[in-house]
Structure 1
């Protein structure tokens, strides 16, 4: 498997309160955390789809890179409860 990036699927509704799932400056809380392959020829831009098949167009990319943390999970720990089970299954395989 090539280089992977972590992307956030955001809630459609605006956040009404501050929670640990809302990053500073972010208006909408993270609904799901997905893994997406890098676009060909780059290590910083996502390809068009996540590993579970969702469109990455409106998903912000996380600063967390799975390759930068080989001893840890592929996603940031603070988002463990929001991990996409389909992406997780592919990443663990």
Structure 2
């Protein structure tokens, strides 16, 4: 798989936890897949497979090519996978 996994994040939420940077935590709203940028395989392209802008999204640490045979998304985030991105990958 050549796509890059990216996270659409919620707005920061104050947690009050001292270990949270800046006292805020950002939760993953949706897991998307995006093609690499043209000519730069390590960079995320401008749009996800479902057409959303990747500018404000965070790149996932774990990428599909790191774990052949496993789902393209982190299993703990299966409930928030973008169905449109998943449909493109499955075809």
What is the RMSD computed on CA atoms of the aligned residues? 2.2
Give me the TM-score of the superposition, normalised by structure 1: 0.81
Which residue does 1:59 correspond to in 2?
A: 57
Structure 1 unaligned blocks of 5 or more: 19-23
Give me the TM-score of the superposition, normalised by structure 2: 0.83
Farther off after superposition, 38-47 or 72-81: 38-47
Residue 12 (str. 1) matches residue 20 (str. 2)? no
SS in structure 1 at match of 2:37: coil
Structure 1 runs (4+) greater than 6 angstroms displaced: none
SS in structure 2 at match of 1:57: coil
Of Structure 1 and Structure 2, which has the larger fraction of its residues in strand? Answer: 2
Distance in 2 between residues matched to 1:47 and 1:61, nearest whole Å: 11
The structure with the largest alpha-carbon Rg is: 2
